[in-house]
Chain A
Amino acid sequence: MEISTVAGESSTSATQTTIRIRPPRSRLLAIWNGATPYLFLIPFLVIFLAFFFAPFVYDILQSFYILKHFGGLGLTPPKVVWNGLANYQQVLTDANFWRGFGRVLIFGIIQIPVMMGIAMILALLIDAPLLPFRRFFRLAAFVPYAVPGVVAAILWGYFYTPSLSPIVQALSAVHLPVPNFLSNSTILWSIGNISTWEYAGFNMLIFYSAMQAIPQELYEAARLDGLSEIAIARYIKIPMIRPAFMLGLLFSMIGTLQLFNEPEILHGISGAITPTYTPIIYAYNIAIIQSNFYYGGAIAAILGIITFIFSYFFVLLTQRQTGA
């Protein structure tokens, strides 16, 4: 009973046709039927619009303004004035922003491969038929992910603080050299250690689930051909879970660009973590600590745009390679 098939047909004629054809009762029913998909969408839409889209639009709007005084001591209320793209221009030439950005890039280049490697090995191990206590290991590796990021950082902060750390105390008790986990040169890797501890299990679970979807026939064929378990892992499992691997990689890259919780918590015990340590920490310090919502908004928007471009090209690249 589709009537609006002709492209460009005026809607008034469509209305008239509908009204003539449908009796009132079934028209109500049609409205109800038409509304059903939207009703199902409501819970998602409400949360999406309220907590993602609205703040995003608000942030963009704010980023075009600036608080200004007009000469004098500034001891009068300021005016909020239109600033055009000047905030954006300032971010693009802001050494603090780019230094933080460079730092998370280096972090990602080292930490993500290490974490993904550990996750892959763990996934292959718990997927291997010979391993005893598989369910226990699967749970044990995943538990850190269930610990909130802030709690994980506090926990590890305790291990890193020289005066409290059992690691430091144990090492110095046997007269071994004691590492400083909180110095300028080590703190980034101390953070990397926390991130790896937190998210290796999560990625492991993604890989492991993808391995469950590999058809059993492939294994049978491989075993008939005499492949060892290691060769099966190398030639079947790893190639077959490539999409899941790429997904995990994408999540990790986005998470790294948005690195915040761990350095913000460790900030309290390490002087090496500055208010400009990562792009998000910088945005937070400008917007919240210095109450400059306008410039902070521009930093956040630019980081968002960079993350979007990054993810877009990453997805494009992986799709092209897999031919999907």
Chain B
Amino acid sequence: MASRPLRATALVSVLLIFTSLLAACGSSSSGSGGGVVNLTFWSFNQQITDQADAFNKTHPNIHVTALKEPSGFGQYYPKVLSAIKAGNAPDVALIEYQYVPTFVSRGALVDISQYIPQSVRQQFDPAAIGLETFGNSLYGLPQDTGPEGLFYNAKVFAQAGITAPPTSWTEYAADAVKIHALGPNYYITSFSPTNTGWFQALMWQAGAIWFTTSGNSWVVNINSAQAQQVAGFWDNLIKQGLVDTATADGDFQSGWNNALDKGTIASWISAVWGQGVVKGDAADQKGNWAVAPMPQWTAGNNDSAFWGGSGISVIAGTKHAKEAAEFVQWYLTDSTSLNIGVQQIGWYPSNLAARQQALTTPDPYFAGSTPGGQIVDKTFASVNIPSGWAFPPDLDAVTNFEGNDFNTAITNNLTLVSQLPNIQNQVITDLQSQGITAKAGN
């Protein structure tokens, strides 16, 4: 047996070995040798590696590593926020517009206004620049926007005896009956209660503005008369079994992909970026799909709303904000990068010069109503987006409340309308508990 001090010496030496082991584990971060600044970039699209390669070729002092990340509410944004907390976040990342306020509210984005001159900002759609601007701060540059329209399978519509896409929501409801008459598995659309962003866009289009600001306070208006009208419209379709509410058939789920491809789900209210999704998921329906403006609440209008659309932001914790901002500017103004974005990724670009080019090419996949194919983007070019909608700084919580309550409604045969007051209360309470000023608008 060793004596006490000897035992202490032994313990100390073991601890020394232990700590040096830990230190060895922790020292893997590479220094930027030779004056080259290393940046990482996260986005949803595979083609970003080609864009990064093009950047790296012309910028010897900056090296960008682009990583395709899985998209999706429950995956991507939590990953970015966790990475910031863990100190290994990317320098640059794609952030959809609806999440920008939430990220700003967490201190997760870098103000790049000092790096991006006005002359550069003027190259973009002012509405999209507005989604990245808070006071004098600029939290990113806009990549693409997501105005909505109606994608529909014209062949299935014709089989159901529908000659023209619905122009009003009343016609849409009537068409829903006709399509379901084709067979028990045929639906005009899937309705996923947890697809919260999609439902918010339906509200937005109807002028049911859920979130606005009044001075220094948020005004939450989830239970307004217009909101009840929209929710009531879908309640009616759900009650009659005219929309597919099976969770496995919700947008982007495997059952939905399968149903689009078989033609049993006949349409999708979606943003302009949805064209890539339809083409990918319903490859067997090539030539059958077409795109039309959204059904309207008021005849003669061309009201739409934004669903998604993304900007590129510099992420808090970066040691190279200047170089990161330089990459962001290049990514959304350089013609090589924009070409890849428009032609391969399918952006409806916020960069105005690039948007003009995007509006000229017909797509043979969408030949359902126009032989030879439609110029898909054109349908989205002249829509009216009702003003005033501002995404709240706790969208992740809103998504959980809305998804949870609508889910409860669907599984327990309750109405969506009955859930609106509870969602509104939870949102206001959540904002207030974070020390944010918020009040009900109704």
Residues in chain A within 8 A of chain B (CB atoms): 1-4, 11, 14-15, 18, 27, 30-35, 38-39, 42, 45-46, 50, 67-78, 161-164, 182-184, 268-272, 274-276, 285, 288-291, 293
| Cα-based distance from A28 to B431 in the complex (angstroms) | 64
The answer to whether A69 and B407 touch across the interface, beta carbons within 8 angstroms, is no
**A289:B396 contact, CB within 8 angstroms:** yes
Contact A69 B9 (CB under 8 A): no
Question: Given A18-B5, A184-B411, A271-B407, A38–B106 Cβ distance below 8 Å?
Answer: no
Measured between alpha carbons, how far is A275 from B249 in the docked complex, in Å?
19
Please determine whether A34 and B216 come into contact, CB atoms closer than 8 angstroms.
Answer: no
- Given the complex, which residues of A lie within 8 Å of B11, measured CB to CB? 34-35, 38
Contact: B5 with A67, CB < 8 Å?
A: no
Can you report 12 residue pairs joining A to B where beta carbons are below 8 Å apart?
A18-B5, A34-B11, A69-B434, A71-B435, A73-B437, A74-B394, A74-B434, A74-B436, A77-B104, A163-B258, A183-B411, A271-B193
Which A residues are in CB contact (< 8 Å) with B33? none
Whether A31 contacts B396 by the Cβ 8 Å rule is no
Interface of A, helix, strand, loop or mixed by DSSP: loop
Known: A11-B4, A184-B411. A269 touches B437 (CB 8 A): no
Residue of B1, B4, B106, B435 near A291 (CB, 8 A) is: B106
Q: Are A78 and B434 in contact (CB under 8 A)?
A: yes
Chain B proximity of A61: nearest CB distance (Å): 13
Tell me the complex Cα distance, A27–B7, Å: 11
Using A38-B11, A39-B17, A269-B247 as known contacts, list a sample of 12 further A-B pairs with CB atoms less than 8 Å apart, ordered by residue number in A.
A35-B13, A38-B14, A42-B17, A69-B105, A69-B436, A73-B216, A73-B217, A76-B105, A163-B255, A182-B247, A288-B82, A291-B106
User: Do the beta carbons of B194 and A75 come within 8 Å of each other?
Assistant: no
The 5 closest A-B pairs by CB, nearest first: A77-B107, A34-B10, A74-B436, A34-B2, A35-B10
B298 → chain A closest CB, angstroms: 31
Q: How far is the CB of A125 from chain B (nearest CB, A)?
A: 37
Is the CB–CB distance between B434 and A67 below 8 Å?
Answer: yes
How many Cβ-Cβ contacts under 8 Å join chain A to chain B?
A: 158
A150 → B minimal CB distance (Å): 15
Contacts of A2 in B (CB 8 A): 1, 3
Which chain A residue has the least Cβ–Cβ distance from B216? A72
CA distance A288 to B396 in the complex (A): 10
Complexed CA–CA distance, A161 and B246 (Å): 10
Q: Is the Cβ of A74 less than 8 Å from the Cβ of B10?
A: no
B86–chain A nearest beta-carbon distance, Å: 11
Main secondary structure of the interface of B (DSSP, over half): helix
Q: Which residues of B contact A74 (CB under 8 A)?
A: 105, 218, 393-394, 431, 434-436
- Complex Cα distance, B235 from A274, in Å, reads 21
Q: What separation, in Å, do the CA atoms of A290 and B399 have in the docked complex?
A: 9
Residues of B within 8 A of A35 (CB): 10-11, 13-14
Bound-complex Cα distance A42 to B105 (A): 43
* Cα distance, A107 to B22, chains bound together (Å): 41
A161 contacts B248, C-beta separation under 8 Å: yes
Q: Which residues of A contact B280 (CB under 8 A)?
A: none
Given A184-B411, A276-B404, A288-B78, answer yes or no on A39-B217 (Cβ-Cβ < 8 Å).
Answer: no
Q: Which residue of A lies closest to B248 (CB)?
A: A269
Minimum CB–CB distance from A323 to chain B (whole Å) comes to 34
**A162 touching B431 by the CB < 8 A rule?**
no
Give residues 190-247 of B contacting A (CB, 8 Å): 193-194, 213, 216-218, 245-247
| Residues on A with beta carbons closer than 8 Å to the beta carbon of B217 | 73
Separation of A164 and B256 alpha carbons in the complex (Å)? 12
Per the bound structure, the CA–CA distance linking A77 and B111 in Å amounts to 11
Chain A residues contacting B4 (CB-CB under 8 Å) are: 4, 11, 14
B21 within 8 A of A: yes
Beta-carbon contact of A68 and B434 below 8 Å: yes
Contacts of A268 in B (CB 8 A): 247-248, 253
